[in-house]
A and B are shown apart, each in its own frame.
Chain A
Amino acid sequence: GAVVSQHPSRVICKSGTSVKIECRSLDFQATTMFWYRQFPKQSLMLMATSNEGSKATYEQGVEKDKFLINHASLTLSTLTVTSAHPEDSSFYICSARDLDRSDQPQHFGDGTRLSIL
């Protein structure tokens, strides 16, 4: 089945550091990838839709200068949390949709636990 790999799985760093998270579709191509944020016992909140070769579409209330998204190829999207602060600590999850099967649901990575000290 379709596999999405997300790296790193966990990051602990000091306030002010920028952190890059990678999301790769391993056995399919994805023109669109999605970035979510999840707080404990809360639902997944869509942050942005990452489009290959074009600018990402951000949801209302998500700062595009804070959360930089790059989707340089059909198999890779990156999310960079710039100058991270403790309030950015959360569980970040990416997902991707199979290019050739648009009637299928998304495939998720295993998430990145970000802890800012």
Chain B
Amino acid sequence: SQKIEQNSEALNIQEGKTATLTCNYTNYSPAYLQWYRQDPGRGPVFLLLIRENEKEKRKERLKVTFDTTLKQSLFHITASQPADSATYLCALSGGSYIPTFGRGTSLIVHP
């Protein structure tokens, strides 16, 4: 069955450092991979989408890589700030654009 794995342990980093979150998947050939941010008690907010034929995408301090051979995506936040503290969800989808979500990884940026 399809499986999406995100590190269940919280990632703690110091302000100003680069945060790197990992999303691994098995038994899936997604056309799209998305990253969302979710704050406690709120709905997810879309951050970035990357297509299967793209290796990297950037948006301001965010960078996403997509390695279909390794079946892995890395999500980077450079110059992290305490306001970046949240849960980050990885989501995969095929041609229907209906994503399947991972459990998310909590990021805590310490001042």
Contact = CB atoms under 8 A, between A and B. Distances in A.
Contacts of B104: 43
Contacts of B34: 105
A110 B103 contact: no
B89 A44 contact: yes
Given A41-B103, A44-B101, A105-B99, A113 B43 contact: no
A61 B46 CA distance: 27
Interface in B81-111: 89, 91, 97-104
B43 A105 contact: no
A108 B103 contact: no
B49 interface: yes
18 contacts: A4-B43, A6-B43, A34-B98, A41-B8, A42-B103, A43-B4, A43-B89, A46-B100, A49-B98, A97-B97, A105-B32, A105-B46, A105-B97, A106-B97, A108-B36, A108-B44, A109-B43, A110-B42
